[in-house]
Chain A
């Protein structure tokens, strides 16, 4: 684990620095870095502190927690296809966020946005675990996820289409694909407390997930409280996915690809994989956010488009492999 982190953490830092230096305002790093840290006159400190910094912070936070949540879900369900985006958790969180915005609740009370998204995510995770059962059968899990995504997506579109606001309908793309464009520090503060709670909840599940690889009875005999473990995974995942989706839309596949790529580096153990996946998720989302700005600087290309282009082939490969196992 330490070797993987020793590689990933510098990578995350380097990507964060690159992300800070990219933008339509053409300024070099020697100019922009002092403006970021020390402030000063003119528009540059504002650009660095209010536009670029929240973008980098959100990429770090959302990418990291998506990687963490993906690893936790895969560990708990003992299924490599589990992922919040794929299983409709993100879509349900987006529905919660859209309801908060369209009902005017988020204007009256700022925390209503992440809270409502969190509620959507909790409901989704509970439905998934209820449907898939304690040992998640791949087919059941995926079908439950497909159904959940479809319902949440359809309801989101219904709400946005019925809105009196002419822009609402075009925002369907944002909620389905996610973007970090033009977010502010306000969004960072809005998401941070929920993500912190989620990370704390998921931080303690490593030992339980490791034990669970031996089966439920063995884990219980090792003193693992399975009910508590389930509660932590459900609430922790819902907290981080809800908060992230509320401010940046549903970004898929990060939680699928990252644990899959890094599993070998930790010897397949789900506990250590949690932290390695968090670092890997942050790196992946930072890289994707850099790519959307480099590939199409003058149009708001959605983040989820890139993560899906990378992630969907992985998903196909996993499906292919699981088919081979059953045959």
Chain B
């Protein structure tokens, strides 16, 4: 009797101890979409978010066409019967909480704020998806390529990252670290994201101006990138480059952004 109860208890505890790989994974966030697509076994990832197919935002828009998309709503995700749902730590929180109440396992992944976060996110998601080996392989490749890209600089040309609404990102952000790794000096300095007043940009006179490519459809927020001051800066000396989908998420694709930017720096030197 006692032995039988013990066996039952052990059997019940077994799956919890060595969590088996989830067979059906749904991702609801642009950045986890890309990590999941890189990590998943064939057939394991059943849906990615709608944004994953948008070439303006997603570095893997082509790959994402091979997956059905979701729109971040609890109902549609629940109907997919996932074993694991991956969400960002800020978006779709109401949907994530509802899925948790319904008994679905939800993993929240914070957005990457540095290059060091890339291997960390790969590892976290790899473990949750039961794809540790694949994660370690990706991490090793990422670190080798990153080490090769980081060069010692004699002189770092000054650069500014300038986005819609006069927003900029400093050294303590993923985009800022991309800029540093490519050999630039960021005029915004050691800080996170925030407003860079147009006056401050004009007074700093950066050698390179890195702006975002405009989105389709007009907006007043992006108008600032055509302000006479910005145009004059471009005309006078600042070389310009664009940030793209490689810049947005902490995935191995950031290496592509660093490569492009290093090439750009060599051109203007």
Interface positions of A (Cβ within 8 A of B): 23-25, 43-44, 46-47, 50-52, 101-102, 104, 106-107, 163-168, 170-171, 174, 181-182, 184-186, 298-300
Distance (whole angstroms) from the CB of B163 to the closest CB of chain A: 10
A-B contact pairs, 14 of them (CB 8 A): A23-B197, A25-B203, A44-B203, A46-B229, A50-B229, A50-B232, A51-B199, A106-B218, A163-B217, A168-B219, A171-B219, A174-B220, A300-B165, A300-B195
A163-B219 in contact given A47-B199, A184-B227 (Cβ < 8 Å) = yes
* CB contact list, B144-197 vs A, under 8 A: 164-166, 194-195, 197
Bound CA–CA A65/B199 (angstroms): 28
- The reply to whether A168 and B217 form a contact with Cβ atoms under 8 Å apart is yes
- The reply to whether B221 and A167 form a contact with Cβ atoms under 8 Å apart is yes
Distance (whole angstroms) from the CB of A48 to the closest CB of chain B: 9
Contact partner of B218 among A107, A181, A185, A298, CB < 8 A?
Answer: A107
Bound CA–CA A167/B223 (angstroms): 11
Contact partner of B200 among A25, A163, A167, CB < 8 A?
Answer: A25
For A26, the closest partner residue in chain B by CB is B203
Indicate if B224 sits at the interface (CB-CB under 8 A).
Answer: yes
Interface positions of B (Cβ within 8 A of A): 164-166, 194-195, 197-200, 202-203, 205, 215-222, 224, 227-229, 232
Distance (whole angstroms) from the CB of A268 to the closest CB of chain B: 41
Bound CA–CA A278/B198 (angstroms): 30
- The reply to whether A101 and B198 form a contact with Cβ atoms under 8 Å apart is no
Bound CA–CA A101/B200 (angstroms): 28
For B232, the chain A residues whose CB sits under 8 A away are: 46, 50
- The reply to whether A25 and B221 form a contact with Cβ atoms under 8 Å apart is no
For B222, the chain A residues whose CB sits under 8 A away are: 165, 167
For B200, the chain A residues whose CB sits under 8 A away are: 24-25
Distance (whole angstroms) from the CB of A160 to the closest CB of chain B: 9
Bound CA–CA A298/B164 (angstroms): 15
- The reply to whether A25 and B228 form a contact with Cβ atoms under 8 Å apart is no
For A48, the closest partner residue in chain B by CB is B199
- The reply to whether B202 and A46 form a contact with Cβ atoms under 8 Å apart is yes
For A46, the chain B residues whose CB sits under 8 A away are: 202, 229, 232
Q: Which 6 A-B pairs have the closest CB atoms?
A: A165-B217, A167-B221, A164-B217, A24-B197, A25-B199, A167-B219
For A51, the chain B residues whose CB sits under 8 A away are: 198-199, 202, 229
* Interface SS majority for chain B: helix
Bound CA–CA A51/B229 (angstroms): 8
For A164, the chain B residues whose CB sits under 8 A away are: 215-217
Distance (whole angstroms) from the CB of B269 to the closest CB of chain A: 23
Bound CA–CA A304/B164 (angstroms): 21
Bound CA–CA A184/B232 (angstroms): 13
- The reply to whether B217 and A102 form a contact with Cβ atoms under 8 Å apart is yes
For A102, the chain B residues whose CB sits under 8 A away are: 217-218
Bound CA–CA A253/B28 (angstroms): 44
A25-B219 in contact given A298-B194, A300-B165 (Cβ < 8 Å) = no
For B203, the chain A residues whose CB sits under 8 A away are: 25, 43-44, 47
Contact partner of A165 among B202, B215, B228, CB < 8 A?
Answer: B215
Bound CA–CA A185/B227 (angstroms): 9
Distance (whole angstroms) from the CB of B225 to the closest CB of chain A: 10
Distance (whole angstroms) from the CB of A233 to the closest CB of chain B: 30
Distance (whole angstroms) from the CB of A115 to the closest CB of chain B: 16
For A25, the chain B residues whose CB sits under 8 A away are: 197, 199-200, 202-203
A298-B195 in contact given A167-B164, A167-B165, A167-B222 (Cβ < 8 Å) = yes
- The reply to whether B215 and A167 form a contact with Cβ atoms under 8 Å apart is yes
For B217, the chain A residues whose CB sits under 8 A away are: 102, 163-165, 168
Bound CA–CA A164/B216 (angstroms): 6
Bound CA–CA A253/B121 (angstroms): 51
Distance (whole angstroms) from the CB of A144 to the closest CB of chain B: 29
For B164, the closest partner residue in chain A by CB is A167
For A106, the chain B residues whose CB sits under 8 A away are: 218
For B218, the closest partner residue in chain A by CB is A101
For A25, the closest partner residue in chain B by CB is B199
- The reply to whether B218 and A104 form a contact with Cβ atoms under 8 Å apart is yes
